[in-house]
Structure 1
Amino acid sequence: MRVSTIRTKDGSKIRVAVFRGPLTYVLHNGATDPGALATEKGVKAGPAVGHGERRRLLAAFNGGFKLAAGAGGYEQEGRVISPLLKGYASLIIDRSGRAHIADWGYGAPAKGERVYSVRQNLRPLVWHGRPTAAAAGWWAWGGTVGGLEYVARSAVGQDAAGDLIYVASESTVPADLADALVRMGARIGMELDINPNWVQLDVASRPGGPLRAEVPGQWRPADQFLTGWDRDFFAVLG
């Protein structure tokens, strides 16, 4: 894993984490969202990183919008919590724990793919290695605190090698996230959650090591995903 900072043309500072190698990804249910909708269906990965995961934990980062926002579907551990929507950007985890990003319904799921968890969030932000035209319209990517253009935002992309790239800032616009992903080699990308209360990335220098908060100015402490969190998130295991 490599963490760095990119400065965009408008001055935004984007924190970048590139997850390389054969890592395992786990989608976690949040205490309130999806909350009981997922718990009642028997999902195991709940609001906090489990004891068995902790010793392998390399990083954790936020998921997408609340399901009530209608920004896409949600499947966890083979249980569909909210119907998956065609044409929506999707972070897909298979039963081996490998992850990739795809446009659901257009080649995804692949024939024979053993889908385990899927987190959708809006349409693609990056497509075929370029920012989508929609990326330029910041107002189309979720309601912001105070209706502001520059707020905390996050996104995730995938490069040609299959590695995931997480980008975030406490003050940026969707176009900057798309630009940062492309500069890091992303072929496809999707926005994740926005606004300061929700954007967070925590990483360790080694699997199971102490965590540190990596988005400068992020509101949540580095151990938030260990103690439990309201919203869905992804754990990255080494």
Structure 2
Amino acid sequence: MRRSTPLACGAAAVLALAGCGGGSTRVSSTGSASTASSSTGASSTEPTETATTQTTTTHVVVRHAPKPPPPPAYPQLLPIAAASHPTPFVPVVTWKGAPVAWISRSPSGVTMMAFKQPDMQLHLHSGTVDAGTAGWRYGPQIAGLEMKRLVAAFNGGFRLNVGAGGFESFGRVAVALSDGLGSIVTYSDGRTDIGSWHHEVPAPGRTVTSVRQNLPLLIDHGSPASSLGCLTCWGATLGGVSDPARSALGIQGNGHLVWVGAEHATVGDIASALLSAGVVRAVELDINPEWVAGYLYGHRGGAGPVAPVAVIPGQNGIPGQYLVPWSRDFFTVTAS
């Protein structure tokens, strides 16, 4: 179980070119100058330091600034990803020269990552246990073409055997979907929406590729659930504490996805962080320190293995936990 929103960069070179022109100038042997025109109306510069009249031609060389290099063919991670101090949303990943992901850390310790749709796409992965290794489009580790455009990864929902909701991917069902539960729905065009199953999602006429449910909606219509004060309504915590590690996924009014996570947070802390980021609907994800984890990935100049960067200060787990087979379901975010 788990729980815990918004987000880049480019440069342009501009060159202003100035032309030159005007009338001619006649310079006398005394060094004085006077303006003159030829009989044809063309201007010239006439040095008169000797008895011989000469015409001097000035060549203006315009040097154009070199064209900027094309943006990298991989998502580019910015240095702010490693910062742990409280910060407002700042760009953290660029793609094709523009910001597509942002990160923020609240004073209460909640990390928020925002991802721009449709430039960023969400993928639901099965785990070796939930929902099993074989037969899923996205299995228990990040691999293949997904690796080349990998931006982020974070935990999924509660264990599938606790009755918190269903799991479906590309027509295959691990646990049946339940009416009214908070649902993270990805469509065939790569866009993801969040809402109450059969009430807000799926959208009519659109093809669904994956659905992950987890409890009722934490936020709906821009307001928190009325049951925020019910500790047991939002998962069993280690030792019965109210502020274990928590995480959640929400969607803003503009369609950006926002993941939040923290090592110590109440349900109210997570809801407040989501609302501060402009989230209008959200689902709580897994809780407790063993399961809550979020990563951004550096691409080392497009060569070699990706470099994971943990985004929650002090989070448990190893940085490569989603790069090798992992027991629980999780999500990846890739550049489209």
**TM-score of the pair, normalised by structure 1:** 0.92
Q: 1:138-217 counterparts in 2 under 5 A?
A: 138-204=231-297, 209-217=306-314
Cα distance in 2 for partners of 1:97, 1:60 equals 16
Work out whether residues 194 and 201 of structure 2, in 8 Å CA contact, stay in contact via their aligned partners in 1.
no
User: For residue 184 of structure 2, what is the aligned residue in structure 1?
Assistant: 91
Structure 1 partner of 2:102: 2
The aligned counterpart of 1:17 is 113
2:123 maps to 1:29: no
1:107 and 1:172 mapped to 2: Cα distance? 28
Maintained 8 Å contact 1:34/1:232: yes
Contact 1:34 1:66 in 2 (8 A): no
- Is the CA contact 1:156–1:167 (under 8 Å) kept in the aligned structure 2? yes
Q: Is residue 137 from structure 1 mapped to residue 225 from structure 2 by the alignment?
A: no
- SS class of match (1:146): helix
> What aligned pairs does 1:10-89 form with structure 2 within 5 A after superposition?
12-22=108-118, 23-35=120-132, 39=134, 42-89=135-182
How far off its partner does 1:139 sit? 2.4
Separation of aligned partners in 2, 1:138 and 1:3: 28
| Number of matched pairs | 230
Q: Secondary structure at the match of 1:27?
A: strand
- 8 A Cα contact 2:195 2:201, kept in partner: yes
- Structure 2 residue runs of 5 or longer lacking an equivalent are 1-100
Question: Could you say what secondary structure the match of 1:181 adopts?
Answer: helix
Q: 1:160 to 1:211 in 2, by over 3 A?
A: same
Give the deviation of 1:17 after TM superposition. 0.4
Distance 2:143 2:262 in 1: 27
Partner Cα separation in structure 2 for residue 5 and residue 188 of structure 1: 20
What are the superposed Cα offsets for residues 10-32 of structure 1, whole Å, 9 maximum, x if unpaired? xx310000111421211101011
Matches within 5 A, 1:108-123: 108-123=201-216
Q: Which moved more, 1:86-95 or 1:15-24?
A: 15-24
Work out whether residues 24 and 96 of structure 1, in 8 Å CA contact, stay in contact via their aligned partners in 2.
Answer: no
Distance 1:158 1:44 in 2: 24
Deviations 1:1-51 (A, max 9, x none): 1111013xxxx3100001114212111010111115xx3xx2121110012
Q: 1:136: how far off?
A: 2.5
TM-superposition CA deviations, 1:31-80 (whole Å, max 9, x none): 111115xx3xx212111001211111000010000110100111012212
Q: What's the % identity of the aligned pairs?
A: 40
Whether the 8 Å contact between 1:138 and 1:175 is mirrored in structure 2 is no
**Structure with greater proportional helix content:** 1
Contact (CA 8 Å) 1:59, 1:203: kept in 2 or not?
yes
